[in-house]
Amino acid sequence: MTRSPRASVNGIIWMAGAIASFIGMTVASREMAQGMSIRQVLFFRALVGLAIVAVFAHRVWPEIRQMRQFRGHLLRNIVHFIAQYFWTIGVVMLPLASVFALEFTMPIWVAVFAWALLGENISTARLLATLGGFLGVVLIVRPGMGTVDPAAGLVLLAAVGYGLSIVLVKRLSRQSSAGAIVVWMMLIQTPLGLLSALTDWQPIDWSTWPWILLAGAGALSAHFCLAQALRRLDATIIMPVDFLRVPLIAAVGYLLYDEGIDLWVVIGAGVILLSNLYALRAETRASLA
């Protein structure tokens, strides 16, 4: 698809906003976890998101009242909530660059679940990309080269959960608007977060509130900016730009938390990126043939 130069520039700007939002949310989540449980982190992040979407929720309230696809929304948000829990554990326990690199396996799981649940075909290119993605994961976690951090496995499970969540959203979008999907996410995940947090509640220090606001606003902003970028840029451009999150978060981890930059993480992340890019381009050529 041909894009105008102005649309491409705007798309890059929206991607920059998405990257900044993802990094801000990540740092804020780690800072929050210094003074509260991870379950509280999820609750307060969702609570801020709920307060923000309440501003425009009235626009989709008639659709929400119909309770259309409620079971589907409930399933999607349970999966997404669990994935967020695993991802946040990784953010707290692993170098930030490792978390983002492992998260980039998500397109592989999207393809697998789209085949299993939506009946979409998996191309040869996507199968090769899957093998490349697993090779990248092996390079990052390096089993047999010492003790593998269990948190790396949790982040990988989070990527699987995010992939399943995306496919469930795609199925929900056949009958539900994007606004309703977002509102249902906040309506379901906020009480889920509260029930979970009450099992491990700790006193909240008022100095934590700026981080709480940044985490909640960053989570919504990241997905909004990414959606705007996808309207203006092809996926083959989005992915390498989004991949800049890995070196940028590595720099943030080095500057804020004195985290070393692991060459194997860089190599593994590069293999995952190239594998997904190969699949995207091959599938794009096939669709134009």
Distance CA 22, CA 102 (A): 15
Is 152:94 a contact under the CB 8 Å cutoff? Answer: yes
CA distances from 194 to 52, 71, 115, 146, 180 (A): 17, 20, 34, 38, 21
Q: Which of 220, 223, 225 is nearest to 12 (CA)?
A: 225
150 burial type by CB count under 10 A (0-12 exposed, 13-18 middle, 19+ buried): exposed
Q: Is the pLDDT of residue 236 over 70?
A: no
The predicted structure's pLDDT at residue 157: 95
The predicted structure's pLDDT at residue 280: 75
Residue pLDDT, tens place only, 99-143: 998 888 888 888 888 888 888 787 788 788 888 888 888 888 775
Q: Where are the domains of the chain?
A: 5-288
The DSSP code for 145 is S
Mean pLDDT score of the chain: 86
The predicted structure's pLDDT at residue 284: 73
- Here the tokens at position 48 are 């801020």
The predicted structure's pLDDT at residue 80: 95
Residue pLDDT, tens place only, 75-103: 999 999 999 999 999 999 999 988 998 88
Distance CA 285, CA 289 (A): 6
Lowest model confidence (mean pLDDT) among 114-118, 216-220, 256-260: 114-118
The predicted structure's pLDDT at residue 146: 53
φ, ψ of residue 202 to 5 degrees: the values are -130, 150
Residue 225 confidence class, pLDDT cut points 50, 70, 90: confident
Q: Which of 222, 14, 228 is nearest to 103 (CA)?
A: 222
The pLDDT > 70 percentage for the chain reads: 93
The predicted structure's pLDDT at residue 74: 97
The predicted structure's pLDDT at residue 196: 95
- pTM for this predicted structure: 0.86
